[in-house]
Amino acid sequence: MRDLDKGKEVHSYALQQGIISDIVVATPIVSMYAKCGELKKAKELFLSLQGRDIVAWSAFLSSLVQAGYPREVCSLFREMQHEGLRPDEVTLISVLSACAEVSCHRLGKSMHCYALKADLESNISTVTTLISMYTKFKLFIHAMTLFNKTHCKDVVTWNTLINGFIRFGDPIHAFEMLQRLKLMGIRQDAGTMVSMVSACSLLDNLKLGISFHGQIKKSGFESDIHVKVALMDMYAKCGSLKSAETLFYTTSMKDEVSWNVMITGYLQNRRANEAISTFNRMKFENVRPNLVTFVTILPAVSCLLALREGMAIHSCIIQMGFITSTLIGNGLIDMYAKCGQLSYAEKCFHEMENKDTISWNTMLSGYAMHGQGDSAIALFSLMEEFDAKIDSVSFLSVLSACRHTGLVQEGRSIFESMCEKHHVEPNMEHYACMVDLLGHAGLFDEALGLINKMPAEPNAEVWGALLGACKIYSNLKLGELALNHLLKLEPENPVHHVVLSDIYAQCGRWNEAGRARSNMKDHGLKKCPGRSWVDADHR
C-alpha cells in the first residue's frame, strides 16, 4: 500500500519489542522502506543487519527494482558477491530486471550465463525475465532463440515477447504472435489485451482499437486498470479524446497513471490548457503526482508560456523531493528557457547534481533560442573540459547559437572539430545550419563549397538556407540555382516561388517577379498568409 507512516509504526514497534535484529522481521521492513522510496533509510537498516542471507538480499534488491532504482541494484549486487553469497532464482530475476532497465548488457549476459551453469534456466519466471531483458536490449535474436527452445511457455511468456515487439515499434510481428498464441489454444489475459491495444495506438488505427475495445468488454477485461489505461491512451493517441475522457470519468479508482495518461492525451491533442487544469484537479483530488506527471506537465507550461504556473510547479517539485531527478532538472531548464527566463534556466542547470548530455544540450539550445552565441560557446567549451559526452544534438545546438548570433569564425571551427576531434558525422541539419550561417555572412563561395563537399544529396533544408541568404543579398544567380533544386525536391511548396519573386523584385526585375508569382498560381499553389501572433491553444 506504500503507506510509509504505517510502516514506520511497525518498525518502531519491532524496535520496542527488541526483535528488529531477527532477520525475518527486519527483511520486510527493509522492503517497505525501499518500496516507499526511502532509499537511504532502507540501505542504512539493511547494512546494519547481522547475518544477511540470500533471502534478505533478494528482498532488498527486488524492492529496489520495483521502486525504480535499477542502478543501485547493479552496484549492490557486486557487494553481495563480495560477501560470498550465491544468487538464487529470486536474486537473478531482480538483477536481470535491473539490467534490462539500464541497458546493462555485460551484467545481464553474465547473469544469463550463471543461470545456465546453475541450472536455473528451466524456471519459467527466470526465462520470461530473460526474454524481457533481451527485448529491452533490442536483441530479438536472443529473445526468439530462448522463446523457441522453451517448452513450458505460459501466457505471460507470450505477452512478454509480444510486448517486446510493440516497444520495438513492430506491431505487425506483435499481431502475428497473437495469431500464433490463439492457434496454440492459450487463453489470453488482461496483459495480452494491454499489448494489443498499444499496438493499435502504434498503428494509429482507431477502428482496430475500437474493435479490440468491443472484445475487451465482452471478455470482462475492461475492469482491469491496466487495460483501461491502455484504452484511454489509445483513444487519445488516435485522436478520439472524447472517448478517452468518457473512460476516464467513468473510472472510480483513478491512480496516478490514469491521470498522467489524460494529461499526456490533452497535450498530444494540442490542448495544453486542459493538460494543466487536469493536473491541478489531480492535486485537488489528493492523487500524488509522480515523476512522469512532472515530466509531462513541464512541456505543457512551455507551450503556454505560463511562467507563473511553471514556477508553482517548480516549487511543488522541490516539496515532493523530485528535484534531484535529472529528467526533471532537464525539463525545468527547458521550461524556463522557453518561457523567456534564461537566468532561471541557468540556475537550474548549475544546481543540478547529475547532469547528463541532455542537460547540457538543453542549456545550449536555450542560449541558441535567446541569441546568446557567446554563452553557448563558453558552455560548449565547459562541456569539453568536464568530459561530458558531446553528441550530434550538442553540435546542432551550439552551431545554431552561432547562426543566431552571426559568429562565423567560431561556428566554422566548431563545425571542423566535429569530425576531427569528436568523431561525430555531420548530418543534414548541421550542413543546413552552416550554410545558413555562411550565407547570412555573405560568404557564398564557402557556402556553395560546403554544399558540394557534402557526402549525401543536399535536402530542401540546405537549399532553403541558401535561398534565404540569397534573398538578403539579392544574389539572383545562386538564388535561381537553389530554387531549381527546391522545385525538384518540393514542387508543392509555394514558399519557394514567393522567395524567388522577392529576389527578382529587389533587383527591379518586375516582369520576372510577376512571372514567379503566376507560375505558382498556374500550379494551383497558394501560400497561407503569415501571422505574427500565435494562439497558445493552437500551437
Among 33, 134, 171, 192, binds DNA (CB under 7 A): 192
CB of 32 or CB of 434, closer to DNA: 32
Q: Output the smallest distance, CB 379 to DNA, in A.
A: 19
How far apart are CB 518 and DNA at their closest, in Å? 44
405 within 8 A of 421, measured Cβ to Cβ: no
Which 326-355 positions form the footprint of DNA (CB under 7 A)? 327
Distance CA 2, CA 68 (A): 14
Instruction: Pick from 34, 36, 45, 59 the residue near DNA by CB under 7 A.
Output: 59
Instruction: Give the nearest distance from C-beta 46 to DNA in angstroms.
Output: 10
Interacting span for DNA (CB under 7 A) from 13-21, 22-30, 426-434, 528-536: 22-30
Candidates 206, 202, 251, 246; CA nearest to 226 is 251
Q: Does 372 bind DNA (CB under 7 A)?
A: no
Interaction pattern, residues 152-191, with DNA; x per rule: CB under 7 A: --xxxx-xx--x---x---------------------xxx
b/e burial code for range 161-176 (CB count within 10 A of at least 16 → b): bbbbbbbeeebebbbe
Are the C-beta atoms of residues 394 and 403 closer than 8 Å to each other? no
Choice between 88 and 490, CB closer to DNA = 88
In this structure, the number of other CB atoms found within 10 A of the CB of residue 48 comes to: 12
The answer to whether 358 contacts DNA (rule: CB under 7 A) is: yes
Span near DNA by CB under 7 A; candidates 50-58, 312-320, 418-426, 511-519 = 50-58
Q: Is the dihedral of CA 426, 430, 431, 434 positive or negative?
A: negative
Residues 469, 475: contact at Cβ < 8 Å?
Answer: yes
Q: Indicate the angle between helix axes 89-102 and 124-136, nearest 10 degrees.
A: 10
Residue 375, Cα to own-chain centre: how many angstroms?
Answer: 27
Among 8, 107, 125, 481, binds DNA (CB under 7 A): 125
Read off the C-alpha cell for 484: 531549381
* 302 is a site residue for DNA (CB under 7 A): no
**DSSP3 helix / strand / coil % (the chain, rounded to 5):** 75, 0, 25
- Neighbouring CB atoms inside 10 A of 396's CB total 20
Q: In which residue are the cell numbers 510509509 written?
A: 4
- Within 8 A by CB and 6+ apart from 351, the residues are none
C-alpha count within 13 angstroms, C-beta hemisphere, residue 460: 10
Q: Is 195 in the site for DNA (CB under 7 A)?
A: yes
What does the per-residue mask of binding to DNA show for 518-537, with x meaning CB under 7 A?
A: --------------------
HSE-up of 459 (CA within 13 Å, CB side)?
8
The span from the CA of 14 to the CA of 24, in Å, is: 11
Q: Which of residues 86-105 bind DNA (CB under 7 A)?
A: 88-91, 93-94, 97
For DNA, give the closer residue by CB, 63 or 405. Answer: 63
Complex with DNA: residue 55 or 498, whichever CB lies closer = 55
Residues that contact DNA, how many (by CB under 7 A)? 66
x-or-dash string of contact with DNA, 452-491, rule CB under 7 A = ----------------------------------------
φ/ψ of residue 479, rounded to 5: -60, -45
Ranges within 249-278 binding DNA (CB under 7 A) = 256-258, 260-261, 264
Kindly state the smallest distance separating residue 415's Cβ from DNA, in Å: 25
Of the candidate residues 1, 5, 18, 24, the single one contacting DNA (CB under 7 A): 24
Out of 226, 270, 347, 471, the only residue in the binding site for DNA (CB under 7 A) is: 226
144 binds DNA (CB under 7 A): no
Cβ proximity to DNA: between 193 and 376 the closer is: 193
Shortest distance (Å) from residue 395 CB to DNA: 18
| Region binding DNA by CB under 7 A among candidate stretches 218-226, 273-281, 384-392, 491-499 | 218-226
In the bound state with DNA, the residue whose beta carbon lies nearer, of 24 and 456, is 24
- Tell me the three state secondary structure of residue 448: helix
Q: Quick one: which of 85, 292, 320, 454 contacts DNA (CB under 7 A)? A: 292
What does each C-alpha distance from 113 to 86, 139, 200, 245, 431 come to in angstroms?
14, 16, 36, 48, 46
First to last CA, the chain: 40
Site for DNA in 311-330 (CB under 7 A): 327
Stretch that binds DNA, among 137-145, 229-237, 303-311, 482-490 (CB under 7 A): 229-237
Question: With binding defined as CB under 7 A, does residue 297 bind DNA?
Answer: no
Our finding on whether 392 is near DNA (CB under 7 A) is: no
Hey, what amino acid is at 305? Answer: L
Cell of 508: 527591379
CB atoms inside a 10 Å sphere around CB 295: 17
For residue 188, what is the DSSP state? P
What secondary structure does DSSP assign to 456-501, as a single string? S---HHHHHHHHHHHHHHT-HHHHHHHHHHHHHH-TT-HHHHHHHH
Secondary structure E strands in 378-473: none
Q: Which of 95, 121, 147, 198 binds DNA (CB under 7 A)?
A: 198
Residues found near DNA in the complex (CB under 7 A): 23-24, 27-28, 31, 53-56, 58-59, 62-63, 66, 88-91, 93-94, 97, 123-125, 128-129, 132, 154-157, 159-160, 163, 167, 189-195, 198, 201, 224-227, 229-230, 233, 256-258, 260-261, 264, 290-293, 295-296, 299, 327, 358
